[in-house]
Amino acid sequence: MTRNIAPINNTENHPLSKYYQFQSRIYDMTRWSFLFGRRQLIRTLPIPKKKSISILEIGCGTGKNLIQLAKKYPHAEITGIDLSEEMLQICRKKITPYQGRISTIKGAFGEVTFRENFDLIVFSYCLTMVNPGWDRLIDQAKSTLKTGGVMAVVDFHDTAVSGFEHHMAGHHVRMDGHLLNVLPKKFRQHEQQIAKAYFGAWRWFMFIGYKKP
């Protein structure tokens, strides 16, 4: 697949790239216990399953969502981009059965040039970790989305437990509800949900919207 042009850029010194050098080793063993709503997001996508579409996941990690997207959309061309080479090494092994349909790029979104825009862009537990710069990523994603295309986000929302908020900040995660102050203003809302995790220790959200004409 030749959809993407990735310029050479140095991401090894990026804080998140360094963070995932270790986290990649335990990511799939641990994240299932608190990254809620990922399957629900994909199930809720409003695009018909048989449609031929182009999909971009920003911060694709170890490839869990890429595979689920490939299963739901058998005629889709899917691209995943991530800063972490360690995460992508795991991802590439997983997507071997989908060669020709799923491709990956190592790099920072916004520094990669795409030949064409996408029908669907997915952020899964990515935006809350980009501080500062999350707002620029949303704007960049909007400009990389076709008119009428779908923006799909699942992420942490907020917490009333100050100790947990501090703990998550140590893992680069911002949890003050800031994303849902912006996403409905940028996209025409199709679906929005906020749900409690662990009896309300924190909340996560799902947002799906269309790029306005």
Does the pLDDT at position 4 exceed 50?
Answer: no
Number of domains composing the chain: 1
Condensed to tens digits (0 to 9), the pLDDT of residues 113-141 reads 888 899 999 999 999 999 999 999 999 99
| Domain of residue 98, CATH code | 3.40.50.150
For 104, the domain range is: 4-210
Condensed to tens digits (0 to 9), the pLDDT of residues 67-118 reads 999 999 999 999 999 988 998 999 999 999 998 899 999 999 988 888 889 9
Return the number of other C-beta atoms located less than 10 Å from residue 109's C-beta. Answer: 23
Count, residues in the chain: 213
Distance between CA atoms of 155 and 36, rounded to whole angstroms? 8
In the prediction, which pLDDT does 2 show?
31
Q: List beta partners, residue 176.
A: 158
Q: What is the mean pLDDT of the chain?
A: 89
